[in-house]
Structure 1
């Protein structure tokens, strides 16, 4: 079986596909001037686009890892956006932790694993 790579550069791929599994790299916001709710919405839009390109969607997520710059301050706001975005009955296994992110103005990063939709 081969590995398919989406949006690849010298350092990473936006997503990789193996068999029916879709692995997204950590997604970060483009407009980092926004608060955590705005940044989370941007990241979820990126996740939607990558999942669609890979033949999946948010209802097919298996797991999610979420990193927040300040979990005490930002957890509730991030979670509100996440909950509004997530289809009912489709919550993936998830972990959310506080982490020092790659850039000081990134407040949230999200990585997911999904399964492709049946053809």
Structure 2
């Protein structure tokens, strides 16, 4: 069975199937923030989506982080490591992209085990 949650005009924020929750790409709220600020904001939003989908960041399986400037990866990692405990780190990839939208520095996609 597929369960879709938090519908938007173009997608659902989370889709659950066979005990796995897939979270759509998330960006921060304030594009004037630094890479660390946008990352922290996006992660806070992801945490809310995970909770609403009945799981938590402790159940993360995988994450893909898309960033527009690889020279800012250390700032992104700072926010990431402040958000997650070392024992809860998922498999992860960071991919450099040319453009995510006006002033958007990062977009994050995660997959988690259902709660």
- TM-score, scaled relative to structure 1: 0.91
Residue in structure 2 matched with residue 113 of structure 1 by the alignment: 111
Q: Contact 1:58–1:87 (CA<8 Å) still a contact in 2?
A: no
- 2:30 counterpart of 1:31: yes
How far has the Cα of 1:11 moved from its partner?
1.4
**Aligned match of 1:50:** 49
Separation in structure 2 between the aligned mates of residue 22 and residue 5 of structure 1, nearest angstrom = 10
What CA distance in whole angstroms lies between the structure 1 residues aligned with 2:64 and 2:48? 18
Q: In structure 2, list runs of 5 or more residues that go unmatched.
A: none
Partner of 1:9: 8
Aligned length: 115
Aligned to 2:81: 83
Paired with 1:66 and 1:28, the residues of 2 have a C-alpha distance of 10
Contact between 2:60 and 2:112, CA under 8 Å: does it hold in 1?
yes
Aligned equivalent of 2:91, options 71, 90, 93? 93
Aligned-pair Cα RMSD in Å: 1.0
**Structure 1 unmatched runs, 5+:** none
State the TM-score, normalizing by the size of structure 2. 0.94
